A = this chain, B = another copy of it.
Amino acid sequence: MARANSEDVARHAGVSIATVSHVINGTRFVSEETRQKVQDAIKALNYRPNAVARGLATSFTRKIGVVVSEIRNPFFTATARGIEDEVIRQRYNIILCNTDEDPEREDAVLHLLGAQQVDGLIIAPTGARSETLLGLAKAGVPIVQIDRSSPGLDAPLIDVNNEEGAYQAISYLIGLGHTRIACLINLDVISTQTERLQGWERALREAGLPVDESLIVRADPRFFGGTPDAKASITRHNLPGASEVLQGLFTLPQRPSAIFVASNQLTLGTLYAFRASGLRCPEDISLISFDDHDWAPIFNPPLTVMRQPTYQLGQIAAQLLMKMINGEAVSAPPHLQVELIKRSSCAPPRASNFEGLNNDHAKEVSAAK
């Protein structure tokens, strides 16, 4: 059963094809009588306007591209959902693409999206400068960046204040009495990681603590414990992951009493390293990590985290993009705020004073003394 087109509708209603277009879009006055005839014809023929043809005619396709590194990363999953909820209300669709942080794959999907004539683009760019991305921008495609920014690209960026978030996390640990705080970051060259590293350093410096470079460790992001295929496609650099790297660190004579995990993809490996090294958290080592997880509150111990407003981040990015698509002037919004969620994976270091305690586990530890 071939789909009816507007010509069929016009014939059926005894009007011109222009009129059916106008009743559909409400773009000019049509008498009540003819409008009714057209509506009836549409019903009778089960007519649905062809968005592709409309796209050709208007150059608006009602599709936006969403490109992230990996949709299985809960950060992006939630963000994508925020985006979709926002745009679907305006009858827009999202085309989802993964880059795996690979500039080549990024290039490929950007070409496809460009060909698809998306009305706009929300992208978490890889670290590499992308001529293709710059080309899209120059061609007038509205773009908003999320989480990180692409070199040379002048497009609004929606992200959190990573440096400040890390600073808060480290300050919290310092307040608990820690002085040797490791910082675990992602090997991928993403600006978020260096920003968080800077926050780590600043907190240390401001507290008058030594900045020991040997406490900065980098690991290959990977899914831990996922299905085999997932694992294969996610291990990117084929270099040691968080658990391997940390088990080395933990055997050091002067091991840290706390660890700050700057990437949500590294948390599971860290937890595994604790277990493998026989370290109890928070008794032997404290943990604070970026990004909340849905399992974090019921983990043992419940994880203290820096929560990012992921869903909201997607919403805001989408709202901004829609404004740009509609030709409204927009200004780069401020950073979103991260939130310190105190649960129980941070406690004062052992054999230290307990001033500044303010969570249950710390009190338990204190009481146990």
Q: Which residues of A contact B (CB under 8 A)?
A: 1, 3, 46, 48-53, 55-56, 61-63, 66, 70-72, 74, 77-78, 80-82, 84-85, 88, 91, 93-98, 108-109, 111-117, 135, 138-140, 223-227, 229-230, 233, 268, 271-272, 275, 292-300, 307, 309-312
**Shortest Cβ distance from A47 into chain B, in angstroms?**
11
B135 touches A46 (CB 8 A): yes
Alpha-carbon distance between A361 and B227 when the two chains are bound, in angstroms: 23
Distance of A229 Cα from B81 Cα, bound (Å): 11
Partner of A52, one of B55, B94, B224, B225: B55
A138-B1, A268-B294 given as contacts; is B93 within 8 A of A93 (CB)?
A: no
Given contacts A85-B98, A224-B298, 4 further A-B contacts (CB under 8 A): A1-B138, A48-B111, A51-B117, A81-B98
Whether the pair A63, B139 counts as a contact (CB closer than 8 A) is no
Is A294 a contact partner of B223 (Cβ separation < 8 A)?
A: yes
Query: Does B1 lie within 8 Å of A292, measured CB to CB?
Result: no
Q: How many copies does the complex hold?
A: 2
Best-surrounded residue of A88, A115, A135 (most CB of chain B within 10 A): A115
Expressed in whole angstroms, the minimum distance between the Cβ of A223 and any Cβ of chain B is: 6
A130 nearest CB across to chain B (Å): 15
Residue of B nearest to A311 (CB): B229
Which residues from B are CB-within-8-Å of A299? 295, 299-300
Q: Is the CB of B139 within 8 A of A1?
A: yes
Name 15 A/B residue pairs within 8 A (Cβ), A-sorted. Answer: A46-B135, A48-B111, A51-B117, A52-B56, A52-B117, A62-B116, A77-B77, A94-B95, A225-B292, A225-B295, A225-B298, A226-B292, A268-B294, A268-B298, A293-B295
Q: A223-B294, A225-B294 are in contact. Are A230 and B78 (CB under 8 A)?
A: yes
Nearest B residue (CB) for A55? B52
Q: How far is A114 from B95 in the complex, measured between Cα atoms in Å?
A: 15
How far is A84 from B76 in the complex, measured between Cα atoms in Å? 15
Q: Which residue of B lies closest to A74 (CB)?
A: B72
- Measured between beta carbons, the chain B residues less than 8 angstroms from A309 are 227
B residues near A1, Cβ cutoff 8 Å: 138-140
Contact of A53 with B56 at beta-carbon distance under 8 Å, contacts A71-B81, A227-B309, A311-B227 already known: yes
Contact of A298 among B77, B95, B272 (CB under 8 A): B272
Given contacts A52-B56, A116-B52, contact A295 B295 (CB under 8 A): yes
Distance in angstroms from A33 CB to nearest chain B CB is: 27
Residue of B nearest to A70 (CB): B81
